[in-house]
Structure 1
């Protein structure tokens, strides 16, 4: 690409930490076949999405981005637990009453989520959407909930009570008041699907970044891999690691922003679905691998399981790597 290059650093808020996308973008007069990097920010699924594509034509690139945005909107209209018209909202309304027929896509996403629960013996559980809110993670909480309140908080949580009928393609929640939600893997799934669509359209490279749960493919305009900076959870704006990726995904979970600090101990907003207690051993977990959905699952689960059990889980999936940071502030 003709002209000089400038280094642009873009901060992208994650669930609790920040990744930094580091781009090399050309300036000056481009050649006729020069590749451009075009980026657009959108609000989808209650979060900021940054969609970046590489193309020769900026107008065409924006059209591609709009198609990816429509795909993410389509997914949200299937799986959102907050929009009343979605299939997941209907499943939740009918908890303890009747099964609900869903599309194959929703059924398969739920089936995979139950498999993730089985892999972790319930450390990952989409029925945590029904958790009683006994923890507050806005800095105002100064004492622990009672043991009884914590025990009661998980009474409607339990993936074993999610019943799938593979013939009728229905989902039934056995307990009244149960809910399922895809906050832990939904944005990663949307990032994967956005990448899949853009690749099918012939886009040579880009990133679909769902508030830090991202899927990338191809290269930057100059042919270099994408550079993903992982923030140090103990120092604001400090990058502790840079990942160089082409066809790969990254997801991070951590306690850097949403937490409760009580008696000198930090409790992350990521809660163990079996016990009702927040994770407290680890400061952050960044997972990279082929799928953002699966990296989402792993980063969340490792935060709950802790370093030892989390590494044991990770060993089952050699395509995935993790940066696990213990919380130095623990007492």
Structure 2
């Protein structure tokens, strides 16, 4: 995924020279990932001001939804699993509501409660044999979106079972990219990209009025591209196992786990989805990795505004 970001920047810079407006870039590490910000602006000082504002926005989101920071509302929900509902602000509540909707759409192939999964798979190259089947089966004992109870009137989230845990690792960066773009557009920034380690949201055009060109790298040949996507207003998200997987008995097992079974996804090495929302594209790319080629294509066809590029393990 990091290599795909490099390809994206190279394509962009080739067509950004010689115009009165300029492309300004900034990079930060937030939400455990590298965020890249690209703005079309005339003034460097103004661009730096915008960079600070969007960085603050990503930090605000992380302080709402991170399951790793103990003071966040999501951490409080997890700490009170099986004990009591926790009141959250409306933004967090609506994000959780959408996440449960995604789970229903995929019949559990997507599930934010997978954060409670027992880690029985290792993806550091050390695994030489499959874990015992009963261990895999038991690894999902605390996973199940059906046990996440929402109270819209009181704006509370309750995890019914002790040991449950929720996390937005599958859609959080896409959501942050969308919110960063929303903020910058509201401030009058005419064009740019908020890139959350490959889950990105773009708007406007480059200074030459050409669309943004996003290179989708080949996971088996990182310096080559499968496709170049042209975006004016849209998003791209990628999920894949090309950098993190276990190979056992000649078969590749992805680090993306099926929440219902505890087994890693197989058959696909990467999925890139493009469409209006980075959050939704993020959800689709993750779900397609779990569902596999046939069922994954069925899923994306339900949403005409989105397109998917699937790369098989072969």
Q: Could you tell me the TM-score, scaled by structure 1's length?
A: 0.92
Q: CA offsets, 1:277-329, max 9 Å, x none? A: 0001111110000000000000000000011111111111000000011110x
Matched-pair contact (CA < 8 Å) for 2:127–2:248: yes
Report the Cα offset of residue 236 of structure 1.
2.2
Alignment of 1:209-248 (within 5 A): 209-248=195-234
Partner of 2:287: 301
Partner of 1:74: 60
What SS is found at the alignment partner of 2:222? coil
Distance in 2, matches of 1:27 and 1:152, equals 56
Q: 1:19 to 1:291 in 2, by over 3 A?
A: farther
What SS is found at the alignment partner of 2:110? coil
Count of residues in Structure 1 that have an aligned counterpart in Structure 2:
311
Report the Cα offset of residue 27 of structure 1.
4.7
Distance in 1, matches of 2:29 and 2:79, equals 26
Matched-pair contact (CA < 8 Å) for 2:173–2:199: yes
Partner of 2:244: 258
What SS is found at the alignment partner of 1:237? strand
Matched-pair contact (CA < 8 Å) for 2:274–2:307: yes
Partner of 2:162: 176
1:314 aligns with 2:300: yes
Q: 1:184 to 1:19 in 2, by over 3 A?
A: farther
Q: CA offsets, 1:166-217, max 9 Å, x none? A: 1100000001010000000000000000000000000000000000000000
Partner of 1:55: 41
Q: 1:223 to 1:27 in 2, by over 3 A?
A: closer
Matched-pair contact (CA < 8 Å) for 1:219–1:246: yes
Alignment root-mean-square deviation, CA? 1.2
Runs of 5+ in structure 1 lacking a partner? 1-11
Distance in 1, matches of 2:277 and 2:16, equals 29
Partner of 2:2: 13
Partner of 2:175: 189
Report the Cα offset of residue 19 of structure 1.
6.6
What SS is found at the alignment partner of 1:238? strand
Distance in 1, matches of 2:288 and 2:69, equals 29
Q: CA offsets, 1:38-72, max 9 Å, x none? A: 00000000000000000011110111111011000
Report the Cα offset of residue 225 of structure 1.
0.5
Distance in 2, matches of 1:297 and 1:210, equals 14
Q: Which has the higher helix share?
A: 2
Alignment of 1:87-126 (within 5 A): 87-126=73-112
Partner of 1:164: 150
What SS is found at the alignment partner of 2:149? strand
Distance in 2, matches of 1:97 and 1:185, equals 26
Matched-pair contact (CA < 8 Å) for 2:170–2:282: yes
Post-superposition, which runs of at least 4 consecutive aligned residues in structure 1 deviate over 6 A?
none
Report the Cα offset of residue 235 of structure 1.
1.1
Partner of 2:310: 324
Runs of 5+ in structure 2 lacking a partner? none
Matched-pair contact (CA < 8 Å) for 1:19–1:231: no
What SS is found at the alignment partner of 2:97? helix
Matched-pair contact (CA < 8 Å) for 1:270–1:304: yes
Matched-pair contact (CA < 8 Å) for 2:16–2:206: no
Q: CA offsets, 1:140-175, max 9 Å, x none? A: 111110001101100000000000001100000001
What SS is found at the alignment partner of 1:122? coil
Partner of 1:86: 72
Partner of 1:281: 267
